[in-house]
Amino acid sequence: MKITALYSHLNGHEWLLVHEKKIWKEIAGVIKDIDADKYKTKVSEEKTMRGKLLYAPKEINKAFAKKFREADWKESRTSYWVTDDYELVRKTMILPEDEQKRMIEGAGKRAIKSYNQTDFVKRRVAVEVQFGKYSFIAYDLFVKHLAFYVGNAIDVGIEILPMKAMQEHMSSGPGYYEGALYDIARQGRGVPAVPLVLVGVEP
């Protein structure tokens, strides 16, 4: 596959080129090593494309996972505690996990354990490969990457997405680069408050 488009949010790409150039080359290498046409195996059952061979998102995700694991990228999870009091949440979110629980319960509130999980993390860089439903992309960009950044677990988040030209050859449902770019642009320049690199790929 090839990188067709790239958007650097809050200088995410520039940060990589200065601080983790080798990591960026590794990510680009993983993308280049994926032969998308190998995964054009899904026979469509949708009315408008019945019988047509489409790219299989799950298989492409698996191929990316295999390549990243081989390059020693690891899954990472950050746990935290939530409650129903906004001010209390604001105070506790910057604290270590055990202190969050203690403070919430000390205020007489119920502490509810929650977590965010990222598939690929290496040297404080998180990568999400998203060939699934479009709603997952917004969650990655506006919740997951941000949570890891605020928790001081990463310095930049990377989202790998199909271009529309590729997504058109998939079942309806997956998101695509151009749509995600619009979602970021309409929030304003500083939102989400985490350096990101949006990467659009195609065969």
Tokens, residue 53? 């061979």
Nearest residue to 174 via CA among 57, 31, 59: 57
Q: Look at residue 173 and tell me whether its pLDDT is greater than 80.
A: no
Site of tokens 């949006």: 198
- Classify residue 144: in a domain, yes or no: yes
- Classify residue 113: in a domain, yes or no: no
What CATH number is given to the structural domain containing 17?
3.40.91.20
Q: What is the pLDDT averaged over residues 175-203?
A: 94
Using pLDDT thresholds of 50, 70 and 90, give the confidence band for residue 115.
confident
Q: Look at residue 146 and tell me whether its pLDDT is greater than 80.
A: yes
Please give the pLDDT value at position 77.
84
Nearest residue to 60 via CA among 169, 193, 179, 198: 169
- Classify residue 105: in a domain, yes or no: no
- Classify residue 100: in a domain, yes or no: no
Q: Where are the alpha helices (DSSP H) in 49-133?
A: 57-70, 86-92, 97-106
Please give the pLDDT value at position 147.
86
Supply the DSSP symbol for 77.
E
The C-alpha atoms of residue 168 and residue 98 are separated, in whole angstroms, by 46
Please give the pLDDT value at position 45.
78
Q: How far is CA 100 from CA 62, 82, 88, 106, 126, in A?
A: 36, 8, 9, 10, 24
Using pLDDT thresholds of 50, 70 and 90, give the confidence band for residue 39.
very high
Using pLDDT thresholds of 50, 70 and 90, give the confidence band for residue 111.
very high
Q: How far is CA 85 from CA 42, 89, 93, in A?
A: 47, 6, 12
- Classify residue 11: in a domain, yes or no: yes
The C-alpha atoms of residue 116 and residue 118 are separated, in whole angstroms, by 7
- Classify residue 106: in a domain, yes or no: no
Tell me, rounded to whole angstroms, the distance of Cα 46 from its chain centroid.
Answer: 28
The C-alpha atoms of residue 33 and residue 115 are separated, in whole angstroms, by 32
- Classify residue 112: in a domain, yes or no: no
Q: Look at residue 190 and tell me whether its pLDDT is greater than 80.
A: yes
Nearest residue to 130 via CA among 43, 34, 187, 58: 58
- Classify residue 101: in a domain, yes or no: no
Q: pLDDT tens digit string along 44-102?
A: 777 777 778 899 998 999 999 999 999 999 998 888 899 999 999 999 988 888 999 99
Choose the weakest-confidence range: 30-44, 45-59, 116-130, 144-158. 45-59
pTM of the model: 0.88
Q: How many domains does one find in the chain?
A: 1
Q: Percent of the chain beyond pLDDT 90?
A: 73
Q: What domain range is 19 assigned to?
A: 2-76+118-202
